[in-house]
Amino acid sequence: MTISTQPYTAVAGQARQATEKSVETFKNMSQQLTTQLEELRLPSIPSIDLTQPVGWYFDSLQKVVDFNRGVVTQWAQLLTPAAQREGDGGSGEGQTEDQADQNHEPAWQSDQSNEAQGE
């Protein structure tokens, strides 16, 4: 008993032809779209240098952080009981802010010192 492959071959041939037709249609439509877009001559996107605005943003952010650090330091000093500060012999007053200043110089102060040095 032999099985005829003729029906399968015919279906495969039709599927191949349909696929080739679809690919050809897609190719033609893509070429037409590309041609139409080129005819529009859309302006190109300009290049933008963001270095300076990013620098300004972080300088401003640093100023806000420095200001907030000063405010929170003052609040901490006000909330520290006076008796506890006096128990240290008065040496603890302003100590938090002094330590913070030793660890970090605000950006606006370093900018001013650079300008004073002529940089």
| pLDDT tens-place string over residues 37-50 | 888 877 776 788 99
Taking CA atoms, 30 is separated from 24, 25, 26, 107, 110, in Å, by 10, 9, 6, 55, 58
The pTM for the full model equals 0.34
| pLDDT tens-place string over residues 67-88 | 999 999 998 888 887 656 665 5
What pLDDT, on the 0 to 100 scale, is given for residue 119? 45
CA–CA separation, 83 and 109 (whole Å): 34
| pLDDT tens-place string over residues 1-33 | 677 888 878 888 888 899 999 999 999 999 998
Domain boundaries, the chain: 1-42, 51-116
> Taking all residues of the chain, what is their mean pLDDT, rounded to a whole number?
77
